[in-house]
Structure 1
Amino acid sequence: MERLNRSGPFWFIISCCAFASMWVMIRYAARDLHSFEIVFFRNLFGLMFLMPMILRNPGLIRRDRARVHLARATSGFIATMGTFYAVANAPLADTLAINYTAPLFGTLGAVLVLGERVRARRLVALAVGFAGMLLVLRPGSVPMTPGIIAAIISAVSTGYSIVAMRSLVGVDDPRAVAAWTFILILGPSLACALFVWRLPPQSVWGLLIAIGAAAAVGQITLTRAFSLSEASAVLPLDFVRFGLVTAAGVLLFDERYDAFTLAGGALILGSTIYLAFREAQLKRQARRDSQPRG
């Protein structure tokens, strides 16, 4: 177990770096292409990078599991479209801070959909997280641009994905979960891209391929990290992604962030870390209580 706890954070940091670099490349590619078209190429090239793994492991992708993954893929499709649009059209740190609220919406969804009980400490963590989102958005003083609205839609959809994914934990291979994500949303992303289609300039093809590669690496390493370590052990490392994305916004895109945005992002991330830590505690307690005594 100790070895697994060490390797889980390693894979999570790789995932943070992959997703942060993907966001930077999305912003550059969006200068020439609509974000919906970038989503399609992300899925196309990401699936191509995963094909060797799929072909080397017959039975990894089981057709009888397609319907099980469909609910998660549907919300994942909405979340991906929203995230890519927000990255292309809103400040990166604001988008990421809002993105961090997804586990909060997931916890709220588990209460409303799955009937889970939430005690006082988790309620306080939820309140702190949503207060952090209000600090970032500051209704009335920060304009609700289409990019910010897309980021909120993405966070809510990702939260639903978290709820849907709970039925897959311990059942499907983490590699299959990542592969199904690309397979099931490839067609819908193409359908949306056709409405804004233009032939990518030659200079953008390298970025599109790299975006697909980063997405594939990020998905595989993320699912691997969560399969090796509890969420509470790796989520604190998401500050790596926050730091990389914020630095990229300042250094590469001349974005400026105030203290409210940074403080709000820290509150949101802190509350999601606490929720993951508290959930891990409750699971361990439930396992102890279920063991025979004597």
Structure 2
Amino acid sequence: MLLSALISALNGAIAKILSDDISALEIVFFRNMIGVVLILWALRIKPPTLEGGKIHLLFLRGFLGFLAMILFFYTISAIPLGEAITLNKTSPLFVSILAYYLLHEHLSKRAILALLIGFLGIIFITKPFGMSISYEHALGILGGFFAAAAYATIKKIKDIYDSRVIVLSFVMVGSVMPVFLFLLSPYIDAPQYLMFLFPEFIIPQNFSIWLLIGFMAFISTLSQWLLTKAYSASKASIIGVISYTNIPFAIGFGYMLGDSFPDFLTFCGIGLIVLGGILVSKAK
């Protein structure tokens, strides 16, 4: 999980660079298409041994992962990288809630307090004190929820599917859904706030963009495999805490790319979210 967190921060930085030239949906498409090739190659070298089953949960994991990814890449293009990744990392808080309702994991009073602390951190980051909340920040939080739902499905299928097959479901759905949305885009008069889901498909002409796309696809697929292995090996809430380590890396990468340095309230929010995650793990 520690390696996955480091790689995902670097992946976010590359996605932010690419967002200046291509849409978030194209980033998702190219990232996952190359990921499909990499995972199929790995499966050919060493075929899976688990028999499988519950194909609907495998598809659900892929679909929820796609929703989380498109929202994540869109928020990366719209708000500072450190904030986008922090909001995405609210997923461990949501994981604890979903694990309680769906997986029947125990959720103590101490864990509930930890969740409240974590969500207070969200308020500090989004700063909705003017009776409104940034649309991009709201999508970032929603992306965190979908990521949590995807992680929760891993716990349901980890014993019947090879981790590479689980990742394959994610990258395959993440390749097919963008194609579907690209085909629909000429016929959809979407409102401005949903335009990021129906952009025009434009093939990149710059070779350096293709190099970045290929590198991002490789490291993000590696990160997904490491993440899947981590969630399969230990409690979701404990692994989720370790994932917070990518926040300082993301802040550093974002600052190097021109993001403003987080203000005091944002730092407080980040601290509260991390504290909430740590307390959740200790409450288990």
TM range (shorter): 0.7 to 0.9
Query: What aligned pairs does 1:153-192 form with structure 2 within 5 A after superposition?
Result: 153-192=142-181
CA, structure 1 residues 141+257, in 2 after alignment: closer, same or farther (shift >3 Å)? farther
Partner of 2:5: 16
Paired residues in the alignment total 268
Which TM-score applies when normalising by structure 1?
0.82
Query: Are the equivalent residues in 2 in contact too, given 1:61–1:176 (CA < 8 A)?
Result: no
Partner of 2:188: none
Deviates more, 1:160-169 or 1:98-107: 160-169
Partner of 1:147: 136
Deviation at 1:133, TM superposition (A): 0.8
Deviation at 1:110, TM superposition (A): 3.5
Query: Are the equivalent residues in 2 in contact too, given 1:36–1:189 (CA < 8 A)?
Result: yes
Q: Is the counterpart of residue 55 in structure 1 residue 48 in structure 2?
A: no
CA, structure 1 residues 158+233, in 2 after alignment: closer, same or farther (shift >3 Å)? closer
Q: Is the counterpart of residue 255 in structure 1 residue 273 in structure 2?
A: no
Deviation at 1:207, TM superposition (A): 1.2
CA, structure 1 residues 224+52, in 2 after alignment: closer, same or farther (shift >3 Å)? same
Deviation at 1:116, TM superposition (A): 5.2
Poorly superposed stretches of 4+, deviation over 6 Å: none
Structure of higher CA gyration radius: 1
What secondary structure sits across from 1:166 in the alignment?
helix
CA, structure 1 residues 126+237, in 2 after alignment: closer, same or farther (shift >3 Å)? closer
Query: Are the equivalent residues in 1 in contact too, given 2:95–2:148 (CA < 8 A)?
Result: yes
Query: Are the equivalent residues in 2 in contact too, given 1:93–1:261 (CA < 8 A)?
Result: no
Query: Are the equivalent residues in 2 in contact too, given 1:135–1:261 (CA < 8 A)?
Result: yes
Q: Is the counterpart of residue 216 in structure 1 residue 221 in structure 2?
A: yes
| Aligned residues with identical type, % of pairs | 22
Query: What aligned pairs does 1:1-294 form with structure 2 within 5 A after superposition?
Result: 12-59=1-48, 64-113=53-102, 117-141=106-130, 144-194=133-183, 195=185, 196=199, 197-202=201-206, 203-228=208-233, 235-279=240-284
Partner of 1:283: none
CA, structure 1 residues 13+108, in 2 after alignment: closer, same or farther (shift >3 Å)? closer
Partner amino acid, structure 2, of 1:266: G
* Residue-by-residue CA offset, 1:269-292 (whole Å, 9 max, x unaligned): 22223323433xxxxxxxxxxxxx
